[in-house]
Structure 1
Amino acid sequence: MKKIQIDIPLILPEVADEKDQCVKRLISRLQNEKGLEEVHIVDKPDSGVPQLCFHYDPDVISLQHVRALAEQTGADIIEKYGHKLIEVEGIRHTRHARQIEQSLNHLNGILQAAVSASGMIGLEYETAKIGEVQIREFLRKEGLTILATEVAVDRYLQKTTDRKGVSEEKTAEHAHAHEGLLGKNTELYFSLICGALLGLGFGLSFVEAVPSWVSLALYIGAYFFGGFFTAKEAIETVIKGGFEIDFLMLVAAIGAAILGEWAEGALLLFLFSIGHALEHFAMNKARKSIAALAELAPKTALLKKNGKTEEVDISALSIGDTIVVKPNSKIAADGIVVNGKSTVNQAPITGESVPVDKVAVENPEEDWSQEDDIKDENRVFSGTINGNNTLEIKVIKEAKDSTLSRLVKLVNEAQTQKSPTQRFTDKFEKYFVPAVLGLVVILNFAFLVIDESFSESFYRAMAVLVAASPCALAISTPSAVLSGVARAAKSGVLIKGGRPLEDLGVLTALAFDKTGTLTEGKPKLTEVVALDGVTEEELLKIAVAVENLSDHPLAKAVVRDGKERLKGVQVPEAKDLEAVLGKGIKTSLDNNKIYIGNLDLFESLDDKKPEKNTEEKVKSLEAGGNTTMLIRRNTEYIGIIALMDTPRPEAKNTLKQLKKIGIKRMIMLTGDNQKVADAVAQEIGLTDAWGSLLPEEKVEAIQKLLQKESKVAMVGDGVNDAPAMANSTVGIAMGAAGSDVALETADIALMADKLETLPFAIGLSRKAKTIIKQNLWVSLGIVALLIPLTISGIATIGPAVLIHEGSTLLVVFNALRLLAYKP
């Protein structure tokens, strides 16, 4: 397993010594992250700046993720290390992708390269040793066309690119892309020409009047067209000192020709080349599903300036600009509504099927770009679709930083992250291919042991070459991962690669944060209990009048929900507010003294205590998870109001669905007291509730769960729960569309703030896991079946290649079923 070590300057404000407790906590936090083997401080006398040294496994965690973690926790990765995501055209299949990946990994300065057959290349490199120009040049030499490049720039170093220059370069590269004789589908056309020549040659071989050399010439032509790309890749691989499946196929075809079996060799090349072409076509289908995300955002926007509107490129929009969005058109930027009222279809970003009502904010002049907590009714996202009314939107993120841009980037990165199964198959092939070559060499000399000619032994060896080529194995996992990630993105679920996709499917337990995840995240008025002849309406009027003077979150909840219940009834005005910290408030209302607070307020007030049954009612409500307020007018106790952070309406049904699909334990981890935790757990159907937990205790709780359950996911908002997420098997963030931190820290991000998308994500993952297993059984099973059949002579080259290519296409199209997955 490859390990990488990098040193990063340590920048911790107000920390004088690297042995400080803050540094120790920082290292402790980082070492909990999956893929980080060791994190420690290294003294650098020459620079005078202590270095934070990371030892990490690039198969598990990317440099980009290390960068994000370091910066979030107090270190800075300067421009010494770069992360680049490049989209290319010209990768024909998974084996070709692996060949390019190996070549890139041998370049000086490349720390880690990951290449997907979908055309996405992820690079981590040292900027002092290799730059963008050298990388581009290398990829061009490999025959690839660069479609798009994204460069991660250090937060302190902003770079700009001349847009005209980029446009001209792309045009030149696209011209290079179509240099094939018959355009970008040359490989497919060549294989079809090969098939036509083979069929014609085979047909003419039965016509006595036609000389035999005509069929031979047609077969040779078929060899050329069917073997062109196979030979090209085989030669390139051999020159670099490697052996690939293409090489094995080429050897088998040449062997058939040496034996005079031209028709069989041409059939082998035809089926192999058509298989490659169809595989490429099928993988492109999944790739296009992901590429469709990038097409969601419009290219231009209507910018409103000085009362006039003009059409501008979205890259020209700045934070604070106002854009006009006409009815039934796409929204061009992330922003807040400053004028107008409409419904917006957010499905392209969040997967929500029902359009969301949008209204203008009360204070449009405020700088909303720095605001984290923006109401869903005011916020809009780039790529979403406006309803029937015109909206004016204030831009809060530039195009390159929009939620859609980040989503596209993260989905593209996910394509380059290998799953555990894919790493296993890659390792398996590394040893399997040389073993097959060894077996073939031995079989060539079978004539020395058994009674047969050399040509018969050689033919059998060629048939074994075809049978043993693990093409289906190479494509089985990446095709399923690509399809799964694409399908999830379409429904507003971001899955960051093969590992979380596979892990999510084998979860046995889910841990949930309470506030904002299982509950609404804001208190609601749940009970109004009127005492001693006072009506509920009168009690509410008094409560609303008094609480209207306070800025406390509970007071605001009483006012909001109380007015809702009073339905337009006139509320009197209270005055002379006096707050008693942690206990309640005192005011004057209509010449009466009003007291609202907890039991402690009245214990210290005077001798007039509440009756025993009133106290019992208060304690009963508190035992149910409510926050209670006792209300007294002068010396008379007139009522009780109770508030609670209520469970989400969908929580109970969602947990029921999760139980139905086999999640054994569902645990709530919360900082609230145990009584509140138990009340919420009982109401929505959790198996466990652990209350009064500090953030570090949540981490301990996850570690404790992992000892009992093999796989545990942590579901939260991605901000306060980041340490617990890092320690879980899979970290799942909700409402990620409105949170940059959630997008960065989670393994899986539910773009909408909807708990009900969780069963879909788990169901999709399980389907993906099932398909990966099916593909592995098919690919390995076919190889295990064909090898003994060809060794024994039961199967010849023709049937072997037919079954071989059939299995490759079968696993690809089986994986594509994920694109149509429905829960």
Structure 2
Amino acid sequence: MHRQVLFVALTLSGLVVGWLSDWLQGPPFVAAMAYGLAYVFGGWDGLRNGVKALRQRTVDIDLLMVLAALGALVIGALAEGAMLLFLFSLSNMLQHYAFGRSRQAIQALMQLRPDRARVLRDGLAVELPLEAVRVGDVFVLKPGDRVPLDGVIVRGESALDESTLTGESIPVDKGPGQEVYAGTINTTGNLEVRVTRLASDATLVRMIALIEQAQTEKAVVQRLIDRLEQPYAVGVLVVTALAVAIPVIFFQEPFTQAFYRAMTLMVAASPCAVVISTPAAVLSAIAAGARRGMLFKGGVYLEALARVRAVAFDKTGTLTEGRVRLVQVGVLEARLSEDALLQWAAAVQQYSEHHLARATLEAARQRRLTVPEAEGFRAVIGQGVRAVVEGATIHIGNLRYFEAWEQNSLIKGWAAGRAVLETLARQGKTAVLVVREQTGQREVLGWLAFADALRAEAMEVIQQLRRLGISSIVLLTGDNRHVAEAIGRQVGVDTVHAELLPAQKVVQVQALVEQFGAVAMVGDGVNDAAALAASTVGIALGRTGTDVALEAADVVLMSDDLRQLPYALALSRATRRTLSINFAIAFSAIILMITTIFLQGLPLPLAVIGHEGSTVLVALNGLRLLRYGFATS
């Protein structure tokens, strides 16, 4: 890649120096040397690839570009040939940049998995490479460890952060008999896990295979574009050769005259305007997008986005903020204020590392509440916590925590509190009860409800996509169905698919592609990477997105602002329109000049003017996209 950048820079330098020398009427050898530099470095890769193609008995655009430049050299149009080679080398550099992404995505994904595991052997924890671990072995996990292999918990309880695989925003409480997956994170308790799959069969490895397969399929579709190279290149070469041979052999025309006409034909048929029409428009659009905080990883994705008629969204971190917040404080005790309830809850939770505890403390800080001291903190993993605050024991827990008590029906307010938690669960919220125990009396004081907050701009973006003609908007998430359906109703999507593993997300995306032809997938997590690769255009969020999602995506919203999505779609459609106009101009000019050469004997200077005129016209038309504007609000 560095070598290609250097060659493009040297080609451009030679072209600019040659232009300046001609304009300033400098010594002829200066322009000749400058253009020679552009010819050597601009045509090197094309010549090498063209020769390789000839050895395989094929002719491609690479060889035609070099021959067109040499034809321009023979008839004295050095600047035109140098410009052609510069654009040619620039296009090749951009293509090679795009092709390197697949392997980078795989490398980023592999970094999520540890290369060693602490395996129990004869009662001792021994660190072993994953390749040495067998099915049935038991490994140990401590808080903060990343799970090295798929397995089943045999001892211990903990909350596991599975967002890398499922996208679920809240860590999942697990105990004996439940599965854990490689690449996820153990957050709280100590675990002993029995291995159920070898390293080569782990869920994370299967995700890697999904990405490779999806990107390979996309590359096969991309090759369809290259099928025009062979007939066009062969056609131009055949017509040029016939333009020399037929007049000389059958009409006894002087060779010099026939050769001059053939070189004029070569210049007229040279696809310089065709070549520049694409980078002029696409690079301008990419630059316009970059100014608005989005990165297109290649012109093919910019063009493909214009065909999109369905958009699939991930939930966590995409339509939502990706972090749990306290969204509701409710009280059952009339004499108690919300702030007082939150103070007591924060007092108990200040000693906990649970994600809900952190959200509670954050809410107390935002309200500028003074958190009292607590004593005797105790936690029941996966259920709740308790501590003594101001002389009373405060219990905070889910329904399982209180249902484990004997005679829980004697808790004052229990029926009302239980009904509230069940209602909140149906709304997609995670809720806990706050119960005070004092002098043998137990009373439900109120409840705390938590949720992953919706992005402020999410509803606006969905509405704009509909105005742009998107036929179907789908939510794909690994989160639970109640949460997903609640978010789907809020933002107004057409369909919700919940509780999906990465492979199931790919299946859903592929079904959308079959139905609508072109689909964009918007996500930010590792669990989205395979779906991003399987979609027609994968779009990732830049700030919150994982390395894997950023590498697998075709478009990155670097500002992490979903409102740039409608802009990207509108920009891609404007680019497609510009490309259609440019191609019409370029091919019309070529056809007109070729026709005039044969019918009216168009002289070389007019062919050069026509060729350069069409080239400048398509370039200016493409550059208009630099100032493309689209209201996102």
TM superposition score normalised by structure 2: 0.65
Letter of the aligned partner of 1:808 in structure 2? T
Q: Secondary structure at the match of 2:538?
A: strand
1:778, CA displacement in angstroms?
A: 1.6
Please state which structure has a larger fraction of its residues in helix. Answer: 2
Q: Distance in 1 between matches of 2:517 and 2:451?
A: 34
Q: Distance in 1 between matches of 2:294 and 2:548?
A: 16
Q: Secondary structure at the match of 1:573?
A: coil
| 1:599 pairs with 2:399 | yes
Q: Distance in 2 between matches of 1:738 and 1:616?
A: 37
Q: Secondary structure at the match of 2:233?
A: helix
Equivalent positions of 1:335-346 (< 5 A) are none
Partner of 2:276: 475
CA change 1:225–1:785 in 2 (3 A) is farther
Partner of 1:621: 424
Q: Distance in 2 between matches of 1:741 and 1:614?
A: 43
Equivalent positions of 1:319-468 (< 5 A) are 423=226, 426-441=229-244, 444=247, 448=251, 464-468=265-269
1:557, CA displacement in angstroms?
A: 0.5
| 1:710 pairs with 2:627 | no
Partner of 2:338: 536
Partner of 2:303: 502
1:195, CA displacement in angstroms?
A: 13
| 1:86 pairs with 2:6 | no
Q: Distance in 2 between matches of 1:231 and 1:525?
A: 65
Letter of the aligned partner of 2:3 in structure 1? I
Letter of the aligned partner of 2:279 in structure 1? P
Letter of the aligned partner of 2:434 in structure 1? I
Could you give the per-residue CA deviations for residues 736-777 of structure 1, whole angstroms, max 9, x where no partner exists? 588544443333333333323333333333333333322222
Q: Distance in 1 between matches of 2:39 and 2:396?
A: 85
Q: Secondary structure at the match of 1:714?
A: strand
CA change 1:432–1:477 in 2 (3 A) is farther
CA change 1:721–1:700 in 2 (3 A) is same
Could you give the per-residue CA deviations for residues 58-97 of structure 1, whole angstroms, max 9, x where no partner exists? xxxxxxxxxxxxxxxxxxxxxxxxxx5325556xxxxxxx
Letter of the aligned partner of 1:483 in structure 2? S
Letter of the aligned partner of 1:587 in structure 2? A
1:806, CA displacement in angstroms?
A: 0.7
The question of whether the paired residues in 2 share the 8 Å contact of 1:279 and 1:812 is answered with no
Partner of 1:557: 359
Q: Distance in 2 between matches of 1:279 and 1:809?
A: 13
1:679, CA displacement in angstroms?
A: 0.7
Q: Distance in 2 between matches of 1:682 and 1:230?
A: 59
CA change 1:469–1:641 in 2 (3 A) is same
CA change 1:585–1:766 in 2 (3 A) is same
The question of whether the paired residues in 2 share the 8 Å contact of 1:779 and 1:807 is answered with yes
Q: Distance in 2 between matches of 1:476 and 1:281?
A: 14
Partner of 1:670: 477
The question of whether the paired residues in 1 share the 8 Å contact of 2:278 and 2:579 is answered with yes
1:420, CA displacement in angstroms?
A: 6.4
Could you give the per-residue CA deviations for residues 184-212 of structure 1, whole angstroms, max 9, x where no partner exists? 64421465489999xxxxxxxxxxxxxxx
CA change 1:473–1:673 in 2 (3 A) is same
Q: Distance in 1 between matches of 2:607 and 2:261?
A: 11
The question of whether the paired residues in 2 share the 8 Å contact of 1:194 and 1:226 is answered with no
CA change 1:228–1:740 in 2 (3 A) is closer
CA change 1:663–1:428 in 2 (3 A) is farther
Q: Secondary structure at the match of 1:593?
A: strand
CA change 1:444–1:758 in 2 (3 A) is same
Q: Distance in 2 between matches of 1:249 and 1:552?
A: 68
Could you give the per-residue CA deviations for residues 86-114 of structure 1, whole angstroms, max 9, x where no partner exists? 25556xxxxxxxxxxxxxxxxxxxxxxxx
Q: Distance in 2 between matches of 1:252 and 1:725?
A: 45
Q: Distance in 2 between matches of 1:527 and 1:632?
A: 16
1:473, CA displacement in angstroms?
A: 1.6
Q: 2:19 aligns with which of 169, 174, 188?
A: 188
Q: Distance in 2 between matches of 1:282 and 1:442?
A: 31
Q: Secondary structure at the match of 2:422?
A: helix
CA change 1:776–1:716 in 2 (3 A) is same
1:647, CA displacement in angstroms?
A: 0.8
1:532, CA displacement in angstroms?
A: 3.6
Q: Secondary structure at the match of 1:620?
A: helix
Q: Distance in 1 between matches of 2:16 and 2:414?
A: 86
Letter of the aligned partner of 1:625 in structure 2? G
Comparing 805-814 and 496-505, the one that deviates more: 496-505
Could you give the per-residue CA deviations for residues 444-477 of structure 1, whole angstroms, max 9, x where no partner exists? 269759xx99999887666544433322123322
Q: Distance in 2 between matches of 1:422 and 1:674?
A: 41
Partner of 2:462: 655
Q: Distance in 1 between matches of 2:471 and 2:231?
A: 34
The question of whether the paired residues in 2 share the 8 Å contact of 1:513 and 1:670 is answered with yes
| 1:632 pairs with 2:435 | yes
Q: Distance in 1 between matches of 2:363 and 2:435?
A: 20
The question of whether the paired residues in 1 share the 8 Å contact of 2:18 and 2:32 is answered with no
1:810, CA displacement in angstroms?
A: 1.8
Partner of 2:318: 517
The question of whether the paired residues in 2 share the 8 Å contact of 1:440 and 1:462 is answered with no
1:650, CA displacement in angstroms?
A: 1.9
1:229, CA displacement in angstroms?
A: 9.0
What is the aligned-residue identity percentage? 36
| 1:820 pairs with 2:627 | yes
The question of whether the paired residues in 1 share the 8 Å contact of 2:15 and 2:82 is answered with no
Partner of 1:688: 495
1:621, CA displacement in angstroms?
A: 2.2
1:817, CA displacement in angstroms?
A: 2.8
Q: Distance in 2 between matches of 1:591 and 1:531?
A: 20
Letter of the aligned partner of 1:588 in structure 2? V
TM superposition score normalised by structure 1: 0.51
1:275, CA displacement in angstroms?
A: 4.6
The question of whether the paired residues in 2 share the 8 Å contact of 1:231 and 1:247 is answered with no
Q: Secondary structure at the match of 1:86?
A: helix
CA change 1:435–1:630 in 2 (3 A) is same
Partner of 1:545: 347
CA change 1:643–1:783 in 2 (3 A) is same
Could you give the per-residue CA deviations for residues 655-709 of structure 1, whole angstroms, max 9, x where no partner exists? 2223333333222221211111011111122222211112222222222222222
Letter of the aligned partner of 1:553 in structure 2? H
The Cα RMSD (Å) is 4.5
Letter of the aligned partner of 1:773 in structure 2? S
The unaligned stretches of length 5 or more in structure 1 are 1-83, 91-117, 120-143, 146-176, 198-220, 255-264, 288-371, 374-417
The unaligned stretches of length 5 or more in structure 2 are 93-183, 186-220
Q: Distance in 2 between matches of 1:631 and 1:225?
A: 83
The question of whether the paired residues in 2 share the 8 Å contact of 1:282 and 1:813 is answered with no
